[in-house]
């Protein structure tokens, strides 16, 4: 199973995380026919949203949306606290112009054009928060570093990579000084060491092996890995609720015209079918469980 590896450097104010995504990434891209540049950028988004969720420690949904006017109008990745146990679940989607001619390795700016990133934090309890960052850099990592500088006011560095099969990332963050560190150069030193990471290393090395490669001369404390997997939050119940929100008149008009309602989750491509009888049952008993598939 994919996982996030958290770590800190003893006697410093620097912490970090490494994420590796192979099964999760494969599950996402297997459900859609995305061109290579879209796959790579979605891989970076998946790595980023996993790292942000772990960093923010939010008991709720974290989503990253990149919206723009270029060949790709939407790139989105979402992290959920998990459907089973404590595993963090991820999903992602892209909308793009299928007729657009994409270069082999376009930057985020070339792929999306003018636009912005929306970071949404939706806790199970408490107020929903959205932060917006303009696309003023060529990479997702640089844009998110700007977000942390503006919103969290904590020095944060990110390294994100993805190919056709795997995604990986490193996050370093300088915590507020509490007077307990005796290593004032720790931040600069650990960042410079992280800057030596090679693309292949970030994609192929196991987190502990990667941390040893970068920081074998540092006193690094590594915590238990945190599992990450693909998971979609769609369900027949959620789609039934969405149909009810359309209103009785529109639902009956749709059934009169089409005799049934078929819908599909954009993230995982799961198909949901509602017959005319199903829709009437929803209207008559909106609080009851949705009818099963016929």
Tens place of pLDDT per residue across the chain (294 aa): 799 999 999 889 999 999 999 999 999 999 888 999 999 999 999 999 999 988 887 778 999 999 999 999 999 999 987 544 567 899 999 999 888 888 878 888 889 988 999 999 988 888 888 989 989 898 999 999 998 888 777 899 999 999 989 999 999 999 887 666 778 899 999 999 999 999 999 999 999 999 999 999 999 999 999 899 998 888 888 878 888 888 888 888 888 888 888 888 888 888 888 888 888 888 776 666 666 654
pLDDT of residue 125: 83
pLDDT of residue 9: 93
pLDDT of residue 180: 66
Kindly report the three-state secondary structure assignment for every residue of the chain.
CEEEEEEEECCCCEEEEEEEECHHHHHHHCCCCCCHHHHHHHHHHHHHHHHHHHHHCCCEEEEEEEEECCCEEEEEEEEECCCCCCCEEEEEEEEECCCCCCCCCCCHHHHHCCEEEEEEEEECCCCCEEEEEECCCCCHHHHHHHHHHHHHCCCEEEEEEECCCCEEEEEEEECCCCCCCCCCCHHHHHHHHHCCCCHHHHHHCCHHHHHHHHHCCCCEEECCCEEEEECCCCCHHHHHHHHHCCCHHHHHHHHHHHCEEEEECCCCCCEEEEEHHHHHHHHHCCCCCCCCCC
């Amino acid at each position: 199973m994919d996982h996030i590896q958290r770590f800190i450097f003893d006697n410093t104010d620097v912490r970090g995380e490494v994420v590796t995504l192979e099964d999760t990434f494969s599950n996402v891209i297997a459900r859609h026919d995305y061109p290579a540049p879209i796959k790579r950028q979605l891989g970076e988004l998946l790595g980023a949203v996993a790292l942000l969720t772990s960093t923010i420690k939010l008991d709720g949904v974290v989503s990253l949306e990149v919206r723009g006017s270029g060949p790709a109008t939407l790139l989105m990745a979402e992290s959920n606290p998990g459907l089973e146990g404590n595993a963090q679940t991820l999903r992602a989607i892209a909308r793009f112009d299928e007729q657009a001619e994409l270069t082999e390795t376009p930057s985020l700016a070339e792929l999306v054009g003018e636009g912005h990133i929306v970071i949404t934090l939706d806790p199970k309890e408490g107020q929903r928060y959205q932060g917006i960052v303009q696309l003023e850099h060529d990479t997702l990592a640089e844009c998110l570093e700007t977000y942390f500088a503006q919103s969290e006011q904590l020095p944060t560095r990110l390294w994100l990579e993805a190919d056709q099969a795997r995604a990986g990332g490193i996050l370093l963050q300088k915590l507020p000084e509490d007077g307990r560190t005796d290593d004032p150069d720790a931040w600069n030193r650990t960042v410079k060491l992280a800057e030596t990471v090679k693309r292949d290393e970030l994609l192929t090395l196991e987190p502990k092996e990667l941390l040893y490669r970068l920081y074998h001369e540092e006193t690094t404390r590594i915590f238990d890995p945190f599992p990450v997997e693909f998971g979609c939050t769609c369900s027949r119940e959620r789609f039934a609720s969405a149909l009810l929100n359309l209103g009785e008149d529109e639902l009956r008009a749709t059934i009169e015209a089409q005799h049934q309602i078929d819908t599909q989750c954009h993230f995982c491509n799961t198909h949901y079918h509602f017959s005319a009888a199903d829709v009437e049952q929803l209207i008559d008993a909106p609080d009851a469980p949705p009818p099963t598939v016929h």
